[in-house]
Amino acid sequence: MTLSLDFDAMDPAIRYKLLSAVVIPRPVAWVTTLGAAGQVNAAPYSFFNVFGQDPAIVVLGLQNKPDGSAKDTTANIRRTGEFVVNIATPDLVAGMVDTAAPYPADISEAAALGLAIEPSAHVAPPRLAAAPVSLECVRHTAITFSAERELMIGRVVGMAARDGLIDTETWRVDWNGDYPVARLFADRYARLEEIEPRSIPPVPKT
């Protein structure tokens, strides 16, 4: 028999647990922003993806604190209108997860954890130097759904990539097998491996 669940009758915490366990794998946005005193905030978000190229759009699913107040990333983006999405590979997972700890707003996770930063070219928040790719973004639209959940839609205005990742003649990206890390559920992350290519076929002739 098939289990049928009524989400409208379910506690939101249970909905979160189920959704985050079945919609996998998910990319992780390791977001850097600037605090009010110029401190570099860094935090990972796995409710994230890219949603278009014209304009170039990314969406972050931001969660507020239990009392409904904004977390540092949300507050910083609201104030400055800018953020950077750093893409992490498996070797960076430990540092990435460490930035999820509840540091006070006036403490820089980057400084506290010894994460090297580099200036961004198009926005004020810096990028994480160890990340192979960083997307420099400006706030486009924010949509609030509840006291807990907000979608932050950002326009990508620049990209920084490590040497050799992008061929600027063909514009192809070669990860050389070192793909970004993926979030599964709870405290589980996954390494991605390339699977058999499958091209979209033409419509069969009748």
Predicted confidence band at 206 (pLDDT cuts at 50, 70, 90)? confident
* pLDDT given at position 179: 95
Give the pLDDT confidence of 123-169 residue by residue, as tens digits: 999 999 999 999 999 999 999 988 888 999 999 999 999 999 999 99
The CA angle 24-113-180, to the nearest 5 degrees, is 30
Domain parsing of the chain, residue ranges = 26-190
Q: Of the CATH numbers 3.30.300.30, 2.40.50.180, 2.30.110.10, 2.60.40.1930, which one belongs to the domain with range 26-190?
A: 2.30.110.10
* pLDDT given at position 205: 85
pTM (2 d.p.) = 0.93
| Mean pLDDT, rounded, of the chain | 95
Which amino acid is present at 36?
A
